Amino acid sequence: MNILDELRSRFEPVLAEWTNDPSSVIEMLKASQDAKFGDYQANFAMPLAARLDGIKPRDLAVQIAEKVDLSDFCEPLEVAGPGFINIKLKQDWLEGLTKQLVPDERLGVSPAKTPQKVVVDFSAPNVAKPMHVGHLRSSVIGDANYRVLQFLGHDVVGDNHIGDWGTQFGMIIFGYKHFLNEAAFQINPVNELARLYRLVNQLSDYHATQNAVPLRQTETENLESKLQTLETTANLTDKKIQKQLKKLKSDIGERKAELTSMQEKLTEFEQDEDLKSKAIAFPDIARQAREETARLHAGDADNLALWKQFLPECLDAIQTVYDRLDIHFDMTLGESFYQPMLADVVADLKQKGLAQESQGAICVFMEGFEAPFIVQKQDGAFTYATTDLATIKYRAEELKADRVLYVVDSRQSEHFQLLFATVKQWGFTELALQHVSFGTILGKNKRPYKTRSGDTVGLESLLDESIQRAHAIVAENDDAKPDGPELSEAERQQIAEVVGLGGIKYADLKHNRDSDYVFDWDKMLANRGDTATYMQYAYARVCGIFRKGNIDRSALRNEQAVLCLTEESERALALQINRYSEILESVAIEARPNYLTNYLFELSNLFSTFYNNCHVLKAEEEQVKTSRLLLCDLTARVINHGLSLLGIRTCERM
Ligand code: ARG
């Protein structure tokens, strides 16, 4: 049962007496932060009184509290301070509710009353190159949302909208035609394609940097002469001038640092004779690679054949990563799938008067947006935007979606705002579209996470390293056990996988997804604190209690036991267990798995407190022992289930 929902639905009609829009304040009824304010607390009397004339918030709170009838499951309401309404659940009711969870496989979570068809668009790497750390967030956040929605009874379609038609393919096609190492390709095609991609990228980068240097130099010189003029002619005691000087100096400093790093890059590149000779041989490589892409898009037989040859290899490579991460998709309809539909999309937009020509390109101009949405470029090429429009049409008409979640980097916010605005005008007004945006993973230097030499971190090597580090920790813990180590090497390895992969996923999911976060091995694999490991240990600890007491858990669940929540820590733990349903629903609405991680962390903490305060196996009375064992069992089941919805596994022994 969703207690929060029940409370809100009791208050809403009562609030209607004071406002036309109770839903606007109903969210101010929440779980309380502190047990001394009850189990839940409602703070809406304050904003409501402010909107009304001549009633004090506290008096309003008293009137609301008198009107609402919660006597079947709550103690009489208490009004506190300026107008807080404190709600405390009745003890016997909470005990009964907790008891009902014991045989319930869904742990009190009812399936959604109105199930929706939800497409989760996630992971979506550009597949011509190996997956790197940048692909972690979309994959993990998308997967967690997918699992939660599915558990809540929605009809969920996980769609990996891979980039399989972009400029990167032009780059590997060009690389293949000019730099292929045949033998390497025979042995491991994906590695060779990745090498070709890097090579072409490096060569284009080299020329781009080379072209940019003189520009930067002129810019810097201009700034320097501006500085000189200012220093010789302006009134240097003027605060404004001082500010201007400071700004100029810092700009010059920045430009110079940038120039130095560009020059260093060029020198390093030129030291490699092979690279240098290739760069000389292909001075216009970026344009040539773009032309290969254009030829592919125009249906050139050779390029199409190469694309068809490369694609399965690329897909195999990403599949290896998904297998390791235990992430599944229902479909992988990449960008190429929508190509045949793009011309019609543009024609339809034009016909509906939504798109028009502007400087040779076809654009959609949306009110409130500075930049237009370009759906066809001057050279006739369709864009990322056109593909996304076709994708929405397909999802609405063919997949019959009610809702689509786009789990994509926040740097694409602008794109999605324009996309969603366009789609509404295009006629898909019923479809709920949500950009589930997320920030960047940073290194300790607060810059995007890179290897020491400045390369992007491959996703596979990241997973390997995590498992390796987890193994060391697991071994150390095991060796330190008072009665000596308990685990075999195979067990250690298996636990290390669970801990290593869980640690990476959890560290990603626990942050508010909109913010950037710093990648930190030590914090993420710590036994204590807000980590997967901490919860995995809590789970294993409960399993240990049952092992030690030689207790059959399924028999325990069938016992006609009483559940008593006499101790404060027992009651707090039971209440938290019963809140599982409300938490999952909030995750589903906002697509925020960190609500679930917060919840699990609190649950594990409450379990710790309970376990420190209450004897379980050594409880004085048999009845109390059974009741406490049931609480342990429920805690472990919720932790295990909650973690599984985050794509994280547990071990019975650690
Ligand atoms: N492949 C894109 C990228 O790497 C992400 C695609 C996200 N999904 C979408 N429907 N646009 O940036």
Q: Is 558's pLDDT higher than 90?
A: no
Q: What is the pLDDT of residues 591-641, one digit of tens each?
A: 999 999 999 999 999 999 999 999 999 998 999 999 999 999 999 999 999
Q: Is the CB of 132 under 6 A from ligand 1?
A: no
Q: Is the CB of 406 under 6 A from ligand 1?
A: yes
Q: Is 379's pLDDT higher than 90?
A: no
pLDDT score of 128: 86
Where is pLDDT greater, at 51 or 574? 574
Q: Go through the chain and tell me how many residues it has.
A: 654
Reported as a pLDDT band with limits 50, 70 and 90, residue 193 is very high
pLDDT mean over 46-71: 93
| Residue with CA at minimum distance from ligand 1 atom 6 | 124
Going from the Cα of 437 to the center of ligand 1, the distance in angstroms, rounded, reads: 12
Going from the Cα of 318 to the center of ligand 1, the distance in angstroms, rounded, reads: 15
Q: What is the pLDDT of residues 249-282, one digit of tens each?
A: 999 999 999 999 999 999 999 999 999 999 999 9
Its CATH architecture, for the domain 3-89, is 2-Layer Sandwich (3.30)
| 277 C-beta neighbours (distance < 10 Å), count | 10
Atom of ligand 1 nearest to the CA of 384: 11
Going from the Cα of 353 to the center of ligand 1, the distance in angstroms, rounded, reads: 27
Which value, in Å, is the radius of gyration of the alpha carbons in the chain? 30
DSSP 3-state of 387: helix
| Residue with CA at minimum distance from ligand 1 atom 8 | 161
Going from the Cα of 449 to the center of ligand 1, the distance in angstroms, rounded, reads: 20
Going from the Cα of 290 to the center of ligand 1, the distance in angstroms, rounded, reads: 20
Cβ(95)–Cβ(577) under 8 Å?
no
Task: Give the residue, out of 123, 412, 413, 431, with the most ligand 1 atoms within 8 A of its beta carbon, to mutate for a pocket test.
Answer: 412
Q: Is the CB of 335 under 6 A from ligand 1?
A: no
Cβ(31)–Cβ(4) under 8 Å?
yes
| 446 C-beta neighbours (distance < 10 Å), count | 8
User: How far is Cα 17 from Cα 66, in angstroms, rounded to an integer?
Assistant: 13
Q: Is the CB of 163 under 6 A from ligand 1?
A: yes
pLDDT score of 107: 98
Going from the Cα of 300 to the center of ligand 1, the distance in angstroms, rounded, reads: 25
Atom of ligand 1 nearest to the CA of 408: 7
User: How far is Cα 408 from Cα 488, in angstroms, rounded to an integer?
Assistant: 41
Please report the sign of the dihedral spanned by the C-alpha atoms of residue 553, residue 557, residue 562, residue 567: positive
pLDDT score of 575: 98
Going from the Cα of 611 to the center of ligand 1, the distance in angstroms, rounded, reads: 46
pLDDT score of 590: 97
Reported as a pLDDT band with limits 50, 70 and 90, residue 32 is very high
Q: What is the pLDDT of residues 311-337, one digit of tens each?
A: 999 999 999 999 999 999 999 999 999
Percentage of the chain lying above the pLDDT 70 cut: 100
pLDDT score of 170: 94
Reported as a pLDDT band with limits 50, 70 and 90, residue 388 is very high
Q: Is the CB of 578 under 6 A from ligand 1?
A: no
Reported as a pLDDT band with limits 50, 70 and 90, residue 561 is confident
pLDDT mean over 368-382: 92
Task: Give the residue, out of 161, 387, 388, 410, with the most ligand 1 atoms within 8 A of its beta carbon, to mutate for a pocket test.
Answer: 161
pLDDT score of 35: 86
Reported as a pLDDT band with limits 50, 70 and 90, residue 52 is confident
Going from the Cα of 371 to the center of ligand 1, the distance in angstroms, rounded, reads: 20
Q: Is the CB of 124 under 6 A from ligand 1?
A: yes
Name every residue whose Cβ is closer than 8 Å to that of residue 583 and which is 6 or more positions away in sequence. 595, 596, 599
Name every residue whose Cβ is closer than 8 Å to that of residue 553 and which is 6 or more positions away in sequence. 546, 633
Q: Is the CB of 166 under 6 A from ligand 1?
A: no
| Residue with CA at minimum distance from ligand 1 atom 4 | 125
Q: Are strands 403-409 and 117-121 parallel, antiparallel or unpaired?
A: parallel
User: How far is Cα 382 from Cα 199, in angstroms, rounded to an integer?
Assistant: 27
Atom of ligand 1 nearest to the CA of 391: 10
Residue 378 Cα to chain centre, angstroms: 36
DSSP 3-state of 285: helix
User: How far is Cα 582 from Cα 598, in angstroms, rounded to an integer?
Assistant: 13
| Residue with CA at minimum distance from ligand 1 atom 5 | 124
pLDDT score of 235: 86
Atom of ligand 1 nearest to the CA of 161: 8
Q: Is 404's pLDDT higher than 80?
A: yes
Q: Are strands 84-87 and 40-42 parallel, antiparallel or unpaired?
A: antiparallel
Q: Is the CB of 408 under 6 A from ligand 1?
A: yes
Going from the Cα of 287 to the center of ligand 1, the distance in angstroms, rounded, reads: 24
| Dihedral (Cα; 187, 192, 194, 198), 10-degree rounding | 160
pLDDT score of 234: 86
Going from the Cα of 424 to the center of ligand 1, the distance in angstroms, rounded, reads: 20
Cβ(269)–Cβ(279) under 8 Å?
yes
User: How far is Cα 218 from Cα 278, in angstroms, rounded to an integer?
Assistant: 28
Q: Where are the domains of the chain?
A: 3-89, 168-300
Tokens of 593: 């798995």
Atom of ligand 1 nearest to the CA of 166: 1
Atom of ligand 1 nearest to the CA of 416: 11
Alpha helices in 234-284 (DSSP H): 239-271, 273-281
Going from the Cα of 170 to the center of ligand 1, the distance in angstroms, rounded, reads: 18
**Helix and strand element counts for the chain (H, E):** 24, 13
CB-based burial, 585-618: b 16+ in 10 Å, e otherwise:
bebbeebbbbbbbebbbbbbbbbbebbeebebee
Tokens of 298: 């125009």
Name every residue whose Cβ is closer than 8 Å to that of residue 318 and which is 6 or more positions away in sequence. 125, 127, 131, 162
Going from the Cα of 269 to the center of ligand 1, the distance in angstroms, rounded, reads: 31
Atom of ligand 1 nearest to the CA of 415: 11
Beta-bridge mates of residue 41: 30, 86
Going from the Cα of 77 to the center of ligand 1, the distance in angstroms, rounded, reads: 50
Reported as a pLDDT band with limits 50, 70 and 90, residue 527 is confident
Residue 292 one-letter amino acid: E
Going from the Cα of 162 to the center of ligand 1, the distance in angstroms, rounded, reads: 7
Going from the Cα of 463 to the center of ligand 1, the distance in angstroms, rounded, reads: 23
Q: Is 512's pLDDT higher than 90?
A: yes
Give this prediction's pTM: 0.91
Q: What is the pLDDT of residues 123-150, one digit of tens each?
A: 999 998 889 998 999 999 999 999 999 9
Q: What is the pLDDT of residues 144-180, one digit of tens each?
A: 999 999 999 999 999 999 999 988 999 999 999 999 9
Q: Is the CB of 126 under 6 A from ligand 1?
A: yes
Q: Is 451's pLDDT higher than 80?
A: no
pLDDT mean over 402-409: 98
Tokens of 270: 């030129």
Going from the Cα of 146 to the center of ligand 1, the distance in angstroms, rounded, reads: 17
Q: Is 453's pLDDT higher than 80?
A: no
CB-based burial, 368-387: b 16+ in 10 Å, e otherwise:
eeeebbbbbeeeebbbebbb
- State the chain's mean pLDDT as an integer: 95
pLDDT mean over 411-427: 96
pLDDT score of 304: 97
Q: Is the CB of 388 under 6 A from ligand 1?
A: yes
Q: Are strands 117-121 and 40-42 parallel, antiparallel or unpaired?
A: unpaired
